[in-house]
């Protein structure tokens, strides 16, 4: 198997396990999303693997992008004067679309927060196992930003257009219990049982015929990756515009300082 730096990859019978290893918050970048996509492709090419589990170390499942990272802040400044310099984020979405093109079912084990793009990653899976402590948030508008990672295409399909709008417009954190009621989480268990329950669901899937699984999933997810590609292209254009605003700068600062932002609409 390929050598990975930000994830661990294991096989358990007919189930593959991908573990994000950037604790405590598992902030993502292009490298992490690329490695997850690579691991899923390896599973696709391994006839023994029929389903996979995406889990994480640390406190959060994935807290999204680290807007406080100095390298990212430097990139934001460059993006204001040179839109072409925004390629790393574009490239991140290219990797994200690769995840949606994989062929076998994925169960996400959400033991903590799935925020922003990390929420988008959780939604890319076929199923989510959560716990009362899990938190799901599309917090983009609180950052003065536009949703990304294909969520404008994937979330309405999963929880309905109006619930998706509610999450987008409020940026609220949805609890594990509420996520379970909405169908955002398929299984709700105590926090210390999340990974075991995710493995159990993946193993149940893996008892079915591999050819039948791949064929049926291709039918159920027909066109999804292309819809996500179109969505991320639009999301990126909106994010690029909003990244240059005073409100975005204030939203990121307010989030880092854990206070309500003082937005001005410019």
Q: How confident is the model at residue 82 (pLDDT cuts 50, 70, 90)?
A: low
- The residues, ordered by sequence, that sit 6+ positions from 113 with a Cβ below 8 Å of its Cβ are 25, 59, 60, 61, 62, 63, 134, 135, 137, 173
Contact 32, 4 (CB under 8 A): no
Inform me whether the pLDDT recorded for 76 exceeds 90: no
Inform me whether the pLDDT recorded for 49 exceeds 70: yes
Inform me whether the pLDDT recorded for 50 exceeds 80: yes
User: Tokens 């807007």 label which residue?
Assistant: 67
Inform me whether the pLDDT recorded for 202 exceeds 70: yes
Tell me how far apart the alpha carbons of residues 117 and 81 are, in angstroms, rounded to a whole number: 24
Inform me whether the pLDDT recorded for 13 exceeds 60: yes
Task: State residue 263's pLDDT score.
Answer: 97
Task: State residue 5's pLDDT score.
Answer: 95
């Amino acid at each position: 198997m390929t050598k990975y730096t930000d994830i661990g990859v294991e096989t358990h019978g007919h189930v593959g396990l991908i573990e994000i290893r950037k604790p405590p918050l598992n902030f993502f970048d292009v490298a992490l999303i690329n490695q997850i996509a690579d691991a899923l492709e390896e599973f696709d090419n391994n006839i023994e693997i029929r389903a996979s589990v995406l889990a994480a170390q640390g406190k959060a499942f994935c807290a999204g992008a680290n807007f406080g990272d100095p390298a990212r802040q430097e990139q934001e400044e460059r993006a204001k004067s040179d839109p072409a310099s925004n390629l790393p984020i574009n490239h991140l979405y290219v990797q994200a679309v690769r995840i949606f093109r994989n062929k076998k079912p994925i169960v996400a084990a959400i033991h903590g927060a799935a925020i922003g793009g990390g929420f988008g990653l959780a939604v890319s899976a076929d199923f989510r196992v959560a716990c009362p402590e899990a938190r799901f948030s599309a917090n983009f508008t609180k950052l003065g930003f536009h949703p990304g990672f294909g969520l404008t295409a994937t979330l309405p399909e999963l929880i309905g257009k109006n619930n998706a709008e509610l999450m987008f417009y409020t940026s609220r954190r949805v609890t594990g219990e509420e996520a379970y009621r909405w169908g955002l989480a398929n299984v709700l268990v105590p926090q210390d049982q999340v990974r075991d329950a995710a493995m159990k669901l993946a193993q149940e899937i893996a008892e079915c015929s591999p050819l039948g699984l791949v064929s049926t999933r291709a039918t159920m997810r027909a066109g999804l990756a292309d819809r996500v590609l179109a969505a991320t292209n639009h999301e990126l254009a909106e994010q690029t515009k909003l990244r240059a605003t005073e409100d975005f700068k204030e939203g990121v600062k307010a989030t880092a300082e854990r206070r309500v932002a003082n937005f001005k609409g410019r």
